[in-house]
Structure 1
Amino acid sequence: MSRVMILTRHAKSSWDDTLLDDHDRPLNKRGRESAPAIGAWLRAQGWLPDEVLSSSATRTRETWDRMGLQADTKRFTRALYLAEPEDMLAELTTASGGTVLMLGHNPGISEFASRIVAQAPRHPRFHDYPTGATTVIRFALTDWTQISWHSGTVLDFAVPRELLE
């Protein structure tokens, strides 16, 4: 049996209100266009989550909402806000879904992506993980508690800019 993780960095956020707390920043125009593109790409490929683990930040919640996907279970947690890779791994071990979409932030998400896969895709943007970057990764395990570093196989990778061209 296997499990699949869809790892998505939030779409582009707005810096218009310099007084707004970072946790509360919404998406900007480009982000509001990119999130639906990622959602449409996932639907077209058949990569549909049954569980979402997300940072509680406004920009990750808005990214999820604008992706236009559905999931049986959704958890928005402060633990994934600007989380380190080890914290992201710990959150993933609490998942129960067969396909889990995890939404987070850089710099942690780019390091997490690099460390969780056995071999990185050849895409030039994988290691810096730009806003909206999404990787679909399969793991040969029956339960998320068995997850370990360098164990995932990349099935697909996309960045919104390429989807919108």
Structure 2
Amino acid sequence: MHRLILMRHAKTERTAESGLDRDRALTQRGYDDSIIMGRVLAEKGLRPDLALVSSATRTHQTWETMHEAFGDVEVRIEPKLYDASTDTIRRLVEDLEDSTGCLLVVAHNPGVQLLAMEYLTESAASPSILDRMAGGFPTGAAAIFEVDVAGRCAYDGFFTPKAFGGGAED
């Protein structure tokens, strides 16, 4: 793998009709922000070879809304990503290191943000970058990492929908 994109699902409704967190759907802002983020990533040349997507409704909808910007991309729905710990996400990423060039993981906080922080710490990222990531990982945000041949991740960018005309930071 040469690139990893860790993305949090876009903005969702507070509760689902079923009462289950897993069933929460995107709001209109979530749909709009997903379109923005798909376009931004594609324009920056960040087209995934594989999208690993949590089994929750909101992550499916985030991916389905943004994937048109990328064209044909292999997608795998991964139930282990729902409410996953950093260890679980990391293991899933490491299992794919040799089989994909650019991996997009669409999942949930706190796991996505905490794993991004771990990668930043391991790569000795600057204090300003660490502070920015520690300050929050808004819905629809994506942290970009370059991955070297040893599997080490180095910071390559952090994009939020708000930075490109989308929703509020949250």
TM-score (normalised: structure 2):
0.84
Partner of 1:76: 77
Partner of 2:40: 41
The alignment covers a number of residue pairs equal to: 157
List gaps (5 residues or longer) in structure 1.
Answer: none
Using the TM superposition, give the Cα deviation of residue 124 of structure 1 relative to its aligned residue in structure 2, in angstroms: 5.9
Q: Secondary structure of the residue that 1:37 maps to in structure 2?
A: helix
Q: Report if the CA contact (8 A) 1:49-1:71 is conserved.
A: no
More displaced 10-residue stretch of structure 1: 2-11 or 62-71: 62-71
Using the TM superposition, give the Cα deviation of residue 91 of structure 1 relative to its aligned residue in structure 2, in angstroms: 0.7
Tell me: CA distance 1:36–1:123, structure 2 relative to 1, closer, same or farther (3 Å). farther
Structure with bigger helix share is: 2
CA RMSD of aligned residues (A): 1.9
Using the TM superposition, give the Cα deviation of residue 17 of structure 1 relative to its aligned residue in structure 2, in angstroms: 3.5
How many angstroms apart in 2 are the aligned matches of 1:77 and 1:126? 25
Tell me: CA distance 1:71–1:112, structure 2 relative to 1, closer, same or farther (3 Å). farther
Structure 1 residue 101 and structure 2 residue 104: aligned?
yes
How many angstroms apart in 2 are the aligned matches of 1:82 and 1:26? 16
Partner of 1:115: 118
Using the TM superposition, give the Cα deviation of residue 103 of structure 1 relative to its aligned residue in structure 2, in angstroms: 0.7
List gaps (5 residues or longer) in structure 2.
Answer: none
> Quick one: percent identity of the two aligned structures?
29
List 4+ stretches of structure 1 deviating above 6 A: none
CA displacement, residues 5-64 of structure 1 (integer Å, 9 cap, x when unaligned): 011100011125464311111101111110010001011111100011111111001001
* Residue identity in the other structure for 2:164: L
